[in-house]
């Protein structure tokens, strides 16, 4: 096919080329954007990546959050949640759709758990459960320690390891509990009350390792706060990581940033441990600040690199393509299985028809039906013949001479036994026999009347 020469200077692109150009333009112009909206059409396939639509009252934008970013979220995404998203705009070339790649998400406004946390915190603070005046000092050198935590978690292992290393003479009494999920708060409170029945326990540690606000929520329950407040033994709260704060932390006599730090506090001289913790904190903050600054600089350089964006874009495009293939494969497998089930059902139906047991059951059923019909036919025939016999017997009875005799008639016979039906067949003086209905008479003709 010849190309018209009306536009000799025109540039012709393939679909892939124009998609690549648009993708490059979008990724350059919108490499780092913040967008607010509401999540809808949320789905997470087996790959672990999250696909959703970010919308407002007038428009919507397809969005993707890959599982490497999802792992850093501390809240659960769901349809209808208002969020603030940071990411970059790109094009998914196979479909020509432009979309937002989300690198960071945060909810807009307070979530339900956070709101409950703030309300309970304000109420308990007003009641005086957080007052520093009521907090008790920890014993300088405790001899026996009670621990309320999970018996299988990392927290108890860290506590026991540090206590063994720093002070092997310490006695430890462990009350194992659930530290998350339904019933966990009640178990923790019961453990605190139980350890308070011992007169020789000097201090109690309660806590767990880090997690999301949902994971740590048992230590935000009022029943745990009340149990800590009512404890006659000093309580150290060691929940999560340094950045995690719970209601238990505010009520406890001392908050340890981690379970390991709680073990450090109770296993050494207080002043020495405080100095070491302070020094370590300063060094950690400086190291973290320096490390974060270096990481930010390297990340900034990488984010500005065109080649990095192309590689990252291709990887994510391939990940989306894999998700598409998985979805198609699942649909095809469902259709294939449905077809095979239909063929199997048809085969079962055909086999059932030629099954010897089924054939025998059918033949038995047919024989039973035939026997029933034959029996009915024989009974009907017998009844019909009985009716005919009764009718014939009636007719014979009507025509029987005996019946005639019973009505008063008689049969007259000559001496040879011939029935006389005409008076001319005998003469006066001839012997005759007269048969009656009952018995017979031997007579002689006296006179003939015509």
CATH classification at residue 196: 3.40.50.261
In a domain, 275, yes or no: no
In a domain, 24, yes or no: yes
Give the contacts of 225 (CB within 8 A, at least 6 positions apart). 120, 124, 129, 247, 248, 251
Whether residues 120 and 251 share a domain: the answer is yes
Among the candidates 249, 268, 287, a domain finishes at: 268
In a domain, 178, yes or no: yes
Whether residues 128 and 79 share a domain: the answer is no
Give the contacts of 257 (CB within 8 A, at least 6 positions apart). 238, 241, 242
Whether residues 174 and 197 share a domain: the answer is yes
8 Å CB contact between 317 and 92: yes
Q: For residue 65, what is the domain's CATH number?
A: 2.40.50.140
8 Å CB contact between 149 and 177: yes
Whether residues 372 and 437 share a domain: the answer is no
Whether residues 223 and 159 share a domain: the answer is yes
Whether residues 159 and 69 share a domain: the answer is no
In a domain, 285, yes or no: no
Q: How many beta carbons lie within 10 A of that of residue 227, not counting itself?
A: 24
Task: Supply the pLDDT for residue 5.
Answer: 58
Task: Supply the pLDDT for residue 309.
Answer: 64
In a domain, 194, yes or no: yes
Task: Supply the pLDDT for residue 198.
Answer: 93
In a domain, 276, yes or no: no
CA distance 372 to 169: 97
Start-to-end C-alpha separation, the chain: 139
In DSSP notation, 209-241 reads ----TTTTGGGGSHHHHHHHHH-SS-EEEEESS
CA 320 vs CA 65, 94, 192: distances in Å: 11, 10, 50
Query: Which residues lie across from 51 on neighbouring strands?
Result: 43, 64
Whether residues 215 and 227 share a domain: the answer is yes
Among the candidates 243, 268, 293, a domain finishes at: 268
Count: domains in the chain: 4
Task: Supply the pLDDT for residue 392.
Answer: 80
Whether residues 125 and 261 share a domain: the answer is yes
For residue 129, give both structure tokens.
């459960």
Query: Which residues lie across from 432 on neighbouring strands?
Result: 443
Among the candidates 244, 268, 292, a domain finishes at: 268
- Rounded to the nearest 10°, the torsion over CA 387, 390, 392, 395 is -130
Long-range contacts of 26-32 (CB under 8 A, 24+ apart): 26/89, 26/90, 26/91, 26/98, 27/88, 27/89, 27/90, 27/309, 27/313, 29/89, 30/88, 30/89, 31/88, 31/303, 31/309, 32/86, 32/88, 32/303
- The whole-model pTM stands at 0.40
Whether residues 121 and 261 share a domain: the answer is yes
Task: Supply the pLDDT for residue 352.
Answer: 67
Whether residues 185 and 246 share a domain: the answer is yes
In a domain, 300, yes or no: no
Q: What is the pLDDT along the chain (450 residues), one digit of tens a residue?
A: 455 556 567 788 888 888 788 888 877 888 889 998 888 889 988 888 999 999 888 888 999 999 888 887 756 677 877 888 999 988 888 888 888 999 988 777 655 567 568 778 888 999 999 998 989 888 877 889 999 999 888 889 999 998 888 877 789 999 999 999 899 999 999 999 999 999 999 999 999 988 877 888 899 999 999 999 999 999 999 987 777 789 999 999 999 989 999 998 888 654 465 577 788 888 888 888 888 888 888 777 766 666 666 766 778 888 888 888 888 888 888 888 888 888 888 877 776 666 677 778 777 888 888 888 888 888 888 888 888 888 887 777 777 777 777 777 888 888 888 888 888 888 888 898 988 878 888 899 888 887
Q: Which domain holds residue 174?
A: 112-268
Whether residues 411 and 381 share a domain: the answer is no
CA 231 vs CA 173, 192, 193, 234: distances in Å: 16, 7, 7, 7
Task: Supply the pLDDT for residue 270.
Answer: 47
Task: Supply the pLDDT for residue 268.
Answer: 66
In a domain, 3, yes or no: no
Whether residues 339 and 408 share a domain: the answer is no
């Amino acid at each position: 096919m010849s190309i018209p020469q009306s536009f000799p200077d025109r540039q012709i692109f393939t679909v892939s080329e124009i998609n690549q150009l648009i993708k490059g333009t979008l990724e350059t112009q919108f490499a780092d954007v913040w967008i607010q909206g509401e999540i809808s059409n949320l789905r997470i396939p087996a790959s672990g990546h999250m696909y959703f639509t970010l919308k407002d009252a007038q428009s919507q934008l397809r969005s993707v959050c890959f599982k490497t970013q999802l792992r850093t979220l501390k809240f659960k995404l769901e349809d209808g949640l208002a969020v603030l998203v940071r990411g970059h705009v790109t094009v998914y070339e196979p479909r020509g759709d432009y979309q937002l790649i989300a690198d960071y998400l945060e909810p807009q406004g307070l979530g339900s758990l956070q709101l409950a946390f703030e309300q309970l915190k304000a109420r308990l603070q007003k009641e005086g459960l957080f007052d520093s005046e009521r907090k008790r000092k920890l014993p300088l050198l405790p001899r026996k320690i009670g621990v309320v935590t999970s018996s299988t978690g990392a927290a108890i292992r860290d506590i026991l390891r540090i206590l063994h290393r720093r002070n092997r003479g310490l006695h430890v009494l462990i009350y194992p509990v659930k530290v998350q999920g339904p019933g966990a708060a009640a178990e923790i409170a019961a453990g605190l009350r139980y350890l308070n029945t011992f007169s020789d326990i000097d201090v109690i540690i309660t806590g767990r390792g880090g997690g999301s606000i949902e994971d740590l929520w048992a230590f935000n329950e009022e029943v745990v706060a009340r149990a800590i407040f009512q404890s006659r033994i000093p309580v150290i709260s060691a929940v999560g990581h340094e950045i995690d704060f719970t209601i238990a932390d505010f009520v406890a006599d001392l908050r340890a940033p981690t379970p390991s730090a709680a073990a450090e506090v109770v296993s050494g001289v207080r002043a020495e441990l405080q100095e070491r913790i302070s020094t370590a904190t300063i060094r950690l903050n400086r190291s973290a600040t320096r490390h974060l600054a270096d990481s930010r600089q390297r990340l900034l350089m990488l984010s500005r690199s065109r080649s990095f964006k192309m590689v990252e874009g291709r990887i994510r495009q391939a990940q989306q393509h894999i998700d598409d293939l998985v979805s198609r494969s699942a649909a095809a497998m469902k259709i294939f299985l449905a077809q095979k089930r239909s063929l199997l059902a048809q085969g079962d139906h055909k086999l059932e028809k030629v099954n010897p047991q089924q054939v025998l059951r059918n033949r038995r059923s047919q024989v039973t039906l035939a026997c029933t019909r034959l029996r009915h036919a024989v009974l009907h025939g017998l009844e019909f013949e009985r009716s005919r016999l009764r009718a014939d017997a009636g007719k014979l009875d009507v025509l029987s001479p005996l019946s005639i005799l019973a009505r008063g008639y008689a049969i007259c016979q000559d001496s040879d036994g011939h029935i006389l039906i005409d008076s001319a067949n005998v003469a006066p003086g001839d012997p005759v026999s007269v048969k009656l209905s009952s018995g017979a008479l031997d007579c002689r003709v006296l006179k003939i009347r015509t």
